């Protein structure tokens, strides 16, 4: 018995692994198919090495079964499954946990043999022969009768048993659209032939939760022997129902759930591991009859990021659980509520999925945010301002928020520095001439005028027009400046429209940094914006504005 902290927060002993039954009736197995069905997402192909890294991470997460691939699809897929079986499939942890390594194969001897060749190195290998069981698939794709499909399935389960495999998941493709009497019949026969898990596929993602419930309940009630095997559910998200269907199947008695990290997969993807697991964690004890998984949710965020990077399947900001916005709050009403009690708008804790511990709530500052939220964020950043100072920063903040979708911490720091400076600009742009292109280095000549009217001219080369102009300015003002951010705006409607350029800078290595209240070091930063039809000139104006603020703050 392996001891782990599982999804519902209490310290469970993980039930012993037996292919066809789970000693604890509340424990739900998680089969992750990121490396097989996930990789089938258009454009998501991964290398063997990336797959091995993901498999290691899935083991850290505590996934019960890792479906590593489809060995007969290509030599590379075979190699990936073999590597995973050899390494991850043998790496027992201190609690005795080691994931089952599984592989998909069509119902033919060649595929099954090939899959077994790759899998057999694992401590717990599982073969997953599949065949379609719906009328439309049998008629058009397989061109076979029900009787033929039934015969092939039972023969191939026996063949897999004959290879020495004792952990066999029969996968019924498109089961959701099957004729139920035929489905019950084929499942009964494969159990007799030696299958230990029954995979039930909603391959096209058409099912509603109450239908999934009936499907699973129907199998339990009508398939002799179903009580001696595990029912597993495999849902797709074409109608946005994959997560709900998976949870509903678990309620109905499917004790293995097939999911992918980030919900990637063919078309609209599969049920998301993180959504299914967090729903069980959040509601398992309350309304889902005590169901729980063995997943260590604190590894979710890292796993999600790894899969996002390797598969190239980037997530939308509002992806549930692991999206960038999943724990962010913007409206004034919500922010005010959160500052009083996090439970008002937060049902999951960001730390539970692996976010770093944060002092406050996760609020985004934008045009809907109020003074309290601004003040609270400034305090977190280490600024303790007087009310009239907050008021001044707030006015400038609102002006920026009207133009910019999201006011970042870099912006806020610049705003605080900005409100401290009031003086006349020290330097004004007197003139600018820049040459650039492919025929040589960019060259900029700049004329700056001081407040007393004296004129300074300098020139510099650089790697581009903006770089050379900034360098020429630095020669005149004699400061070492670091450009933190340079943001030209996107222009809709042509190159002669007015563009705004914004730049954020700080002085480099000259002034000792201000120590903040929270112990972090604050480097004062300064921002400037420039506007115009010439992107180079507006970039220079932005820089001079920021420089003037920086020079003013020294005095």
Interaction with its own copies in 186-225: which residues (CB under 8 A)? 203-206, 208-211
Q: How far is the CB of 285 from its own copies (least distance, A)?
A: 13
> Which of 6, 154, 172, 245 lies at the binding interface for its own copies (CB under 8 A)?
245
**Residue 194, Cα to own-chain centre: how many angstroms?**
38
> Which of 300, 432, 473, 544 lies at the binding interface for its own copies (CB under 8 A)?
432
Half-sphere exposure of 351 (CA within 13 A, CB side): 7
d(CA 447, CA 437) in angstroms, rounded, equals: 22
Question: Residue 255 or 313: which CB sits closer to its own copies?
Answer: 313
Phi, psi of 247 (to 5 degrees): -65, -40
Residues 76-115 that bind its own copies (CB under 8 A): 76, 106
Residue 316: count other Cβ atoms within 10 Å of its Cβ.
8
How many positions of this chain bind its own copies (CB under 8 A)?
Answer: 132
Residues 293-332 that bind its own copies (CB under 8 A): 312-321, 323, 325-332
Q: How far is the CB of 209 from its own copies (least distance, A)?
A: 5
Is residue 118 classed as helix, strand or coil in its secondary structure?
Answer: helix
Q: Which residues lie across from 2 on neighbouring strands?
A: 14
Q: Please list, in sequence order, all residues whose beta carbon lies within 8 angstroms of the beta carbon of residue 203, skipping any fewer than 6 positions away.
A: 132, 173, 174, 175, 176, 177, 234, 236
Question: Residue 321 or 378: which CB sits closer to its own copies?
Answer: 321
Q: Are 202 and 131 in contact (CB under 8 A)?
A: no
Residues 54-73 that bind its own copies (CB under 8 A): 73
Q: How far is the CB of 192 from its own copies (least distance, A)?
A: 27
Question: Residue 22 or 368: which CB sits closer to its own copies?
Answer: 368
Query: Which residue, 284, 259, 285, is CA-closest to 273?
Result: 259
Q: How far is CA 124 from CA 3, 166, 470, in A?
A: 19, 9, 63
Is residue 365 classed as helix, strand or coil in its secondary structure?
Answer: strand
Question: Residue 44 or 153: which CB sits closer to its own copies?
Answer: 44
Q: How far is the CB of 213 from its own copies (least distance, A)?
A: 9
> Which of 463, 475, 517, 521 lies at the binding interface for its own copies (CB under 8 A)?
463
Q: Are 532 and 515 in contact (CB under 8 A)?
A: no
Q: Is 488 in the site for its own copies (CB under 8 A)?
A: yes
Q: How far is the CB of 529 from its own copies (least distance, A)?
A: 13
Contact segment (CB under 8 A) with its own copies among 6-14, 295-303, 365-373, 547-555 equals 365-373
Contact segment (CB under 8 A) with its own copies among 9-17, 220-228, 413-421, 442-450 equals 442-450
Query: Which residue, 78, 72, 76, 151, is CA-closest to 105?
Result: 72
Query: Which residue, 284, 280, 319, is CA-closest to 301?
Result: 319
Residues 385-414 that bind its own copies (CB under 8 A): 401-402, 405-406
> Which of 294, 462, 524, 528 lies at the binding interface for its own copies (CB under 8 A)?
462
Question: Residue 18 or 463: which CB sits closer to its own copies?
Answer: 463
Query: Which residue, 377, 205, 237, is CA-closest to 319?
Result: 237
Residues 145-184 that bind its own copies (CB under 8 A): 174
Contact segment (CB under 8 A) with its own copies among 17-25, 93-101, 113-121, 432-440 equals 432-440
Q: How far is CA 227 from CA 24, 222, 223, 231, 255, in A?
A: 14, 10, 9, 9, 11
Q: How far is the CB of 404 from its own copies (least distance, A)?
A: 9
Q: How far is the CB of 528 from its own copies (least distance, A)?
A: 14
């Amino acid at each position: 018995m392996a001891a782990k902290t599982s999804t519902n927060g209490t310290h469970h002993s993980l039930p012993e692994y037996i292919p066809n039954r789970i000693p604890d009736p509340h424990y739900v197995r998680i089969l992750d198919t990121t490396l097989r069905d996930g990789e089938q997402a258009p454009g998501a192909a991964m290398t063997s090495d990336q797959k091995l890294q993901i498999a290691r991470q899935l083991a850290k997460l505590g996934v019960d079964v890792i479906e590593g691939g489809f060995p007969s699809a290509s030599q590379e897929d075979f190699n990936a499954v073999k590597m995973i079986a050899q390494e991850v499939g043998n790496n027992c942890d201190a609690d005795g946990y080691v994931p089952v390594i599984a592989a998909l194969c069509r119902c033919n001897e060649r595929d099954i043999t090939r899959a077994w060749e790759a899998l057999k190195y694992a401590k717990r290998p599982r073969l997953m022969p599949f065949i379609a069981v719906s009328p439309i698939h049998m008629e058009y794709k397989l061109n076979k009768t029900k009787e033929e499909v039934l015969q092939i399935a039972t023969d191939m389960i026996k063949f897999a048993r004959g290879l020495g495999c004792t952990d066999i998941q029969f996968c019924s493709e498109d089961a959701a659209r099957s004729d139920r009497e035929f489905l019950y019949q084929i499942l009964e026969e494969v159990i007799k032939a030696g299958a230990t898990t029954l995979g039930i596929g909603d391959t096209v993602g058409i099912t509603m939760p109450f239908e999934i419930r009936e499907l699973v309940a129907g199998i339990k009630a009508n398939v002799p022997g179903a009580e001696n095997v595990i029912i597993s559910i495999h849902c797709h998200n074409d109608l946005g129902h994959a997560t709900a269907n998976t949870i509903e199947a678990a309620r109905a008695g499917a004790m293995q759930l097939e999911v992918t990290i980030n919900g990637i997969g063919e078309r609209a993807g599969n049920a998301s591991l993180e959504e299914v697991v967090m729903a069980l964690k959040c509601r398992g004890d309350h309304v889902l009859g005590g169901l729980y998984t063995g997943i260590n949710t604190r590894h979710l965020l890292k796993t999600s990021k790894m899969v996002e990077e390797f598969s190239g399947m980037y997530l939308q900001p509002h992806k549930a659980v692991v999206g960038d916005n999943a724990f962010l709050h913007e409206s004034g009403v919500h922010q005010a509520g959160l500052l009083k009690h996090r439970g008002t708008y937060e049902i999951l804790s960001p730390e539970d999925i692996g976010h770093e511990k944060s002092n406050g709530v996760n609020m985004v500052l934008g045009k809907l945010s109020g003074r309290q939220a601004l003040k609270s964020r400034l305090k977190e950043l280490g600024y303790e301002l007087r009310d009239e100072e907050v008021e001044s920063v707030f006015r400038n903040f609102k002006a920026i928020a009207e133009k910019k979708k999201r006011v970042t911490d870099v912006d806020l720091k610049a705003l605080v520095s900005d409100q401290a400076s009031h003086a006349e600009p020290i330097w004004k742009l007197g003139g600018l001439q820049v040459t650039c292109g492919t025929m040589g280095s960019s060259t900029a000549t700049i004329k700056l005028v001081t407040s007393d009217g004296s004129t300074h001219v300098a020139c510099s080369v650089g790697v581009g027009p903006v770089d050379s102009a900034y360098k020429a300015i630095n020669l005149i003002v004699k400061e070492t400046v670091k450009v933190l951010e340079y943001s030209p705006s996107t222009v809709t409607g042509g190159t002669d429209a007015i563009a705004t350029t914004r730049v954020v800078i700080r002085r480099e290595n000259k002034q000792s940094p201000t120590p903040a209240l929270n112990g972090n070091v604050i480097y004062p930063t300064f921002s400037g914006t420039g506007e115009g039809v010439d992107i180079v000139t507006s970039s220079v104006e932005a820089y001079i504005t920021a420089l003037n603020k920086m020079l003013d703050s020294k005095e």
